[in-house]
Structure 1
């Protein structure tokens, strides 16, 4: 009993002592845009206590004794600050800090346990220093990720990552401001992800992570995920003009609608538009047109609540030369940039509405709510096999759909402190519904005659999910993250070609656990072990006829890696990884779609190195190797077609104080199997690019050169069985889309306002 009273007395005394402790509370802003900065690292010098700012730029430290403290603030792309603060008992010291832009210094990058589970980041500075013609090309900046265009710029690019031929998005989740880009049960293939509705100049940053290790990332998150973040405010209004080879020109304009008065009220609004045209480098002119318009409002509707409203609309129309067989080019029947069926092409459009509301309650709960809607149209004419099926009219197909996409993302999270232990609890709910009308696959001729319908129907696919996530910083060195996600799918298909017309549906659910460990030995070294389960959903038109079998095949992955700073100006990120899939997706050339196949496994190594050679010159190299194999097939017949085995990117980037900047880049992909027995090879390539900018206060001049050495290369390749006109027998060989030859563009950007 005496011991009990002693313990109770000590508890009362400790609570009494804690009741008289003080606090530090602050908000961090962007000095130019006057908007709060999320993700700023805030540390109390010498105490091993640190945090990051929330969505409203806020941070807080409680339980501080009466003393003087140094508060260190740092954020990539901004000048670090150190503040002296005096804390008194029973009082809170309030700080308001503005960070100014600064060149990136690798010596200031600290390996921190507080940022252990954060995604990697691509900044707007990186984007400006690369020769980019559209937002899809920003994906190339993700280490180890390659893209290939096989419709001349109109269709979504083919994506490669971690030993995957991801087609147009089967196993990578792409989002823009949290809104999904991937489309389930798409007319051209599962997970089709077209990013061309994003204007590159409006991308503030890109978050990404490889593997299925984040609880809030659902469908298609197996190889990884990428989230584009558009800017909340323009620094100034601008007009940009571009012109280049092959009748190429482009114009972009952005107008700040509120100006300085809006910034003073922590509000911003702008509208931007883009128009592009090119005939491209193919023998048959593309007549490629793309229109984009984008508008955004961001502001504080109360001291602890911000509202973001975004609207955009996009339309594109083009002709393309399609994939050509090796034999036609080698025999001189057509040129390297020629075409077998010059009537291929298509058009697509997408309009989006996106509303995001973030509130920090008096109890320090962060509540996020997001509603989004997209209206989408797609029509594509392709000819993969030429005269294999129809020797008279040819094998051209039309893939077409109209789609409405509705969705919601919501979460509530709170950070708790107990000495050096800090944990963040997050609960979330997500909902997405895709409804298509007349999803079609038809046999056509010359884009004008319909010879027969192969598929026609309506799809209604619903995905609802809930998740719980716990991030625990056990000490200033050790962090644990655990999460559990539950996804429910309902797939419905109305077959309009059936006699009679039938409507059938199938349902399924899947649990996805995640467990991640991070140990920070010092500000120079961190080891981590990621593990988790992800999945990719299957096409409604596949699972409904099968009675709902294998709607949601799982994927199990793990990463063992390190982040290492051997020198103050060098940063190394390396990981050994493994991924097992219950069901592989395989491209089927004659239908231009992907179909489910058997089990598969992949393992490999990723290495990224960043080195600051001088104050103005940076070097980087990314190397990725993988061993992808089908499971259950005999040795020698278990290759995964087009899966990359070894690839590398890298280069030099320059950022001078006098306004001169730019980069010299390379990308290399090694030979890889094009079919299951490796008897047909997709040839590798090495391509280099150049970007040079000169900027002053009111203007910027840029020179972009793609394929600086004018290398002849094949951007996309497929092993396809086809028959040319007058051929007696079909041939199975490489069919390719040629890569960009030397392509130079000049740009002029004019800025208006302060």
Structure 2
């Protein structure tokens, strides 16, 4: 009995001495929270990370013990554990860029550290160039710079957004039931200098992202405040001119406001000038409220117009009818615009609980003139088509996040609820001539589409193992009024998708993490096709799995690798001149992602990403089961220099040859490109020079296997039609901060 009492007393004393809990918050010098800072107890190597509010808690410490706090881009601090129970405030000051500060976080989105590193090393060029910072994501422009980019990721030709969900501050970019194509995602309303962070994830494993998030998602967070005002002027090849202004309007102790503007002009390298112009305006106001709560309001406007040479057939260039930068129909082009109003409210209940609510409204217009087949359908007037729409988009999304402790360890619960409503009027597909004459209406109507969704996800830390179960529920209502019918007839269809996820992350230490991610996602079909085909083709599911890891074999080397698999119940092929979406059956993809970030010296950095994918249709015979334009091998990388006054780098990107049709009898050519930039800073003034396609490669930015007929041809020909990539070009940049 005496021995039992002594044992209990000893246990109590040990718990009293070593069972203290320390709580704190990690902030930057301006008191903004630092998310994901690594906090380690030096005596025991026990560690944790700061949450989205900057808070952290650590068990098993004693007064006088030391905590080391690190975060990429900030000076490491060692702080003592206080004798009382007061909350620590750890202020980190910015420092030189050192990859030794990178740690492996026990978080489903831990791969985001790659974009965090890249954002600090690589200069901002354009909104579409920002997408290239997502490892493995390739883009191509094929209509004068004003049309949304074609996207390639994980063996997908995603067209303009059918299988990757894009958003800005939680506001969706993808347009459902769009006049040009399902999921059309025009990111040109985003001013790249206003971007604070890129959050991305590959695969259908994230409950807070629903429609289109099959190959992955990308969300852009914008700056809440500026470090100072900025004026930028750029001038370059092809009569290109770009100006940017960022103006710090308010920088008080509890509120911030700024205005951002961008204006871009370019003729492009084509024989027929693009006459491209784009204007962006954006303003944001953020106010800090008591207890850490915060409210933010954002407003923006974007307008763009362009002429486009469009896609041209190989045979016309080969026989000398036109040059590589010539045109068959140089009356193509269009104009588009988007006005956004968005608000965010972060309500902090306590240090472990907060609710984030996002609300948005957008007014969007689109008018595009294209000619894919030239004189195949109408030998007299040509095959020009017009696609147009006038859309209002509104939505709200609210998420509760609560951290708590279980008997096994720490846990976090996330639960969200939201609504998106699209009111898309006068969605039209018409045959036109020279943009002026309306020859025939092929499709004309009004679309209403509603998406109500809810989800719940949890992180359970069991020692070094993180278990992440999640479930998402989406309910859609599709409505269409066909204005070409003689009488009013509203058609309606409803469908619900259930998307479970289950993910495991095992963090061996701050240098090694392995993960297994599994989940089901979906991409919705176009409302007009839904109503034509019936309920079975509305929300085809995607089944995915990732097995991989993050490794830091040395302090300044960061590696990641993943084997992945994705099965889709149905692919979509948009037929622009017919205004229909053709389902093309089931597909299967598997691949390998590899990434490297390495700091060779204090000022020299290297990075490389290599992505392989094997994409095949299911059920088609061998040799005729290729998925057109699906990239099999892509890569990007380069060297970057970062010093006090001098910065710059050399970068490459390549795409391997890939099939352009189902039997690989028509091949889309690959390419290898080399770009470079250099910048010199003198106090507030920065001078830069950038060069693209330094090797002068003749490359095709986008390519399609298309059946077309030229005016004097007796028969139609199917072959590669392409938009030529830009030749060698240079651009000078001047920046002034004040």
Aligned residue in 1 for 2:53: 56
* 701-710 vs 371-380, greater mean Cα deviation: 701-710
Whether 2:276 is the aligned partner of 1:279: answer no
Aligned residues between the structures: 734
Q: 2 CA distance for matches of 1:391 and 1:451?
A: 13
Return the match for 2:147 from 130, 141, 155: 155
Aligned residue in 2 for 1:359: 347
Whether 2:515 is the aligned partner of 1:528: answer yes
Whether 2:416 is the aligned partner of 1:433: answer no
Q: 2 CA distance for matches of 1:121 and 1:448?
A: 50
Compared with structure 1, are the counterparts of its residues 121 and 576 closer, same or farther at alpha carbon in structure 2 (3 Å cutoff)?
Answer: same
**TM-score for the superposition, normalised by structure 1:** 0.94
TM-superposed CA distance for 1:21, in Å, is 6.8
Compared with structure 1, are the counterparts of its residues 77 and 420 closer, same or farther at alpha carbon in structure 2 (3 Å cutoff)?
Answer: farther
Return the match for 1:78 from 53, 74, 79: 74
Return the match for 1:678 from 650, 658, 664: 664
Whether 2:225 is the aligned partner of 1:233: answer yes
Aligned residue in 2 for 1:561: 548
Aligned residue in 2 for 1:637: 624
* 73-82 vs 458-467, greater mean Cα deviation: 73-82
Q: 2 CA distance for matches of 1:332 and 1:70?
A: 74
TM-superposed CA distance for 1:134, in Å, is 1.9
Q: Retained in 1: the 8 A contact 2:385–2:577? A: no
Compared with structure 1, are the counterparts of its residues 650 and 500 closer, same or farther at alpha carbon in structure 2 (3 Å cutoff)?
Answer: same
Q: Retained in 1: the 8 A contact 2:204–2:519? A: yes
* 478-487 vs 39-48, greater mean Cα deviation: 39-48
TM-superposed CA distance for 1:594, in Å, is 4.5
Q: 1 CA distance for matches of 2:460 and 2:250?
A: 41
TM-superposed CA distance for 1:578, in Å, is 0.5
Q: Retained in 2: the 8 A contact 1:129–1:691? A: no
Q: Retained in 2: the 8 A contact 1:130–1:691? A: no
Aligned residue in 2 for 1:341: 329
Aligned residue in 2 for 1:388: 376
TM-superposed CA distance for 1:110, in Å, is 2.2
Matches within 5 A, 1:254-653: 254-259=246-251, 262=252, 265-362=253-350, 364-418=352-406, 421-475=409-463, 477-588=464-575, 590-591=577-578, 594-653=581-640
Q: 1 CA distance for matches of 2:686 and 2:186?
A: 29
TM-superposed CA distance for 1:105, in Å, is 1.7
Compared with structure 1, are the counterparts of its residues 423 and 18 closer, same or farther at alpha carbon in structure 2 (3 Å cutoff)?
Answer: farther
TM-superposed CA distance for 1:569, in Å, is 1.9
TM-superposed CA distance for 1:94, in Å, is 2.2
Instruction: Describe the superposition over 1:183-203 as per-residue Cα deviations: whole angstroms up to 9, x where unpaired.
Output: 100111000001100101111
Q: Retained in 2: the 8 A contact 1:215–1:483? A: yes
Whether 2:129 is the aligned partner of 1:137: answer yes
SS in 2 for 1:93: coil
* 501-510 vs 323-332, greater mean Cα deviation: 501-510
Q: Retained in 1: the 8 A contact 2:41–2:61? A: no
Aligned residue in 2 for 1:24: 22
**TM-score for the superposition, normalised by structure 2:** 0.95
TM-superposed CA distance for 1:35, in Å, is 2.5
SS in 2 for 1:303: helix
Aligned residue in 2 for 1:35: 32
Q: 1 CA distance for matches of 2:504 and 2:52?
A: 25
Return the match for 1:44 from 41, 47, 55: 41
Q: Retained in 1: the 8 A contact 2:562–2:593? A: yes
Q: Retained in 1: the 8 A contact 2:654–2:672? A: yes
SS in 1 for 2:100: helix
Q: 1 CA distance for matches of 2:599 and 2:123?
A: 21
**Structure 2 residues without counterparts, runs of 5 or longer:** none
Q: 1 CA distance for matches of 2:291 and 2:17?
A: 27
TM-superposed CA distance for 1:75, in Å, is 2.0
* 387-396 vs 409-418, greater mean Cα deviation: 409-418
Compared with structure 1, are the counterparts of its residues 130 and 37 closer, same or farther at alpha carbon in structure 2 (3 Å cutoff)?
Answer: closer
Aligned residue in 2 for 1:725: 711
* 601-610 vs 120-129, greater mean Cα deviation: 120-129
Matches within 5 A, 1:682-721: 682-721=668-707
Compared with structure 1, are the counterparts of its residues 720 and 353 closer, same or farther at alpha carbon in structure 2 (3 Å cutoff)?
Answer: same
Aligned residue in 1 for 2:165: 173
TM-superposed CA distance for 1:121, in Å, is 4.0
Compared with structure 1, are the counterparts of its residues 430 and 122 closer, same or farther at alpha carbon in structure 2 (3 Å cutoff)?
Answer: farther
TM-superposed CA distance for 1:318, in Å, is 0.5
Instruction: Describe the superposition over 1:102-124 as per-residue Cα deviations: whole angstroms up to 9, x where unpaired.
Output: 33322222234x33543514657
SS in 2 for 1:564: strand
Q: 1 CA distance for matches of 2:668 and 2:579?
A: 18
* 155-164 vs 542-551, greater mean Cα deviation: 542-551
TM-superposed CA distance for 1:747, in Å, is 0.8
CA RMSD of superposed structures (Å): 2.3
Q: Retained in 2: the 8 A contact 1:122–1:206? A: no
Instruction: Describe the superposition over 1:696-726 as per-residue Cα deviations: whole angstroms up to 9, x where unpaired.
Output: 3311111111111111100000000000001
Q: 2 CA distance for matches of 1:575 and 1:482?
A: 20
Compared with structure 1, are the counterparts of its residues 594 and 693 closer, same or farther at alpha carbon in structure 2 (3 Å cutoff)?
Answer: farther
Q: 2 CA distance for matches of 1:149 and 1:116?
A: 32
Aligned residue in 2 for 1:146: 138
Q: Retained in 1: the 8 A contact 2:414–2:457? A: yes
TM-superposed CA distance for 1:258, in Å, is 1.3
Instruction: Describe the superposition over 1:588-644 as per-residue Cα deviations: whole angstroms up to 9, x where unpaired.
Output: 354477532200000011111112111111111111111100111111111100000
Q: 2 CA distance for matches of 1:461 and 1:679?
A: 40
Q: Retained in 1: the 8 A contact 2:384–2:432? A: yes
SS in 1 for 2:39: strand
Aligned residue in 1 for 2:104: 111
Q: 2 CA distance for matches of 1:435 and 1:565?
A: 49
TM-superposed CA distance for 1:129, in Å, is 4.9
Matches within 5 A, 1:655-674: 655-657=642-644, 659-674=645-660
SS in 1 for 2:663: coil
Whether 2:193 is the aligned partner of 1:205: answer no
TM-superposed CA distance for 1:96, in Å, is 2.4
Q: Retained in 1: the 8 A contact 2:479–2:491? A: yes
Q: 2 CA distance for matches of 1:519 and 1:17?
A: 27
Q: Retained in 1: the 8 A contact 2:629–2:658? A: yes
Q: Retained in 1: the 8 A contact 2:249–2:259? A: yes
Compared with structure 1, are the counterparts of its residues 688 and 518 closer, same or farther at alpha carbon in structure 2 (3 Å cutoff)?
Answer: same
Q: 1 CA distance for matches of 2:39 and 2:474?
A: 36
Q: 2 CA distance for matches of 1:20 and 1:578?
A: 46
TM-superposed CA distance for 1:97, in Å, is 2.9
**Structure 1 residues without counterparts, runs of 5 or longer:** none
Q: 2 CA distance for matches of 1:17 and 1:57?
A: 27
Q: 1 CA distance for matches of 2:291 and 2:334?
A: 48
Instruction: Describe the superposition over 1:327-372 as per-residue Cα deviations: whole angstroms up to 9, x where unpaired.
Output: 0011100010011000000000011111111122137311111111
TM-superposed CA distance for 1:52, in Å, is 3.0
Compared with structure 1, are the counterparts of its residues 132 and 674 closer, same or farther at alpha carbon in structure 2 (3 Å cutoff)?
Answer: farther
Whether 2:92 is the aligned partner of 1:102: answer no
TM-superposed CA distance for 1:482, in Å, is 0.7
Q: 2 CA distance for matches of 1:302 and 1:606?
A: 44
* 668-677 vs 292-301, greater mean Cα deviation: 292-301
Aligned residue in 2 for 1:224: 216
SS in 2 for 1:295: strand
Instruction: Describe the superposition over 1:8-37 as per-residue Cα deviations: whole angstroms up to 9, x where unpaired.
Output: xx99x9899789975433333222x44233
TM-superposed CA distance for 1:429, in Å, is 0.8
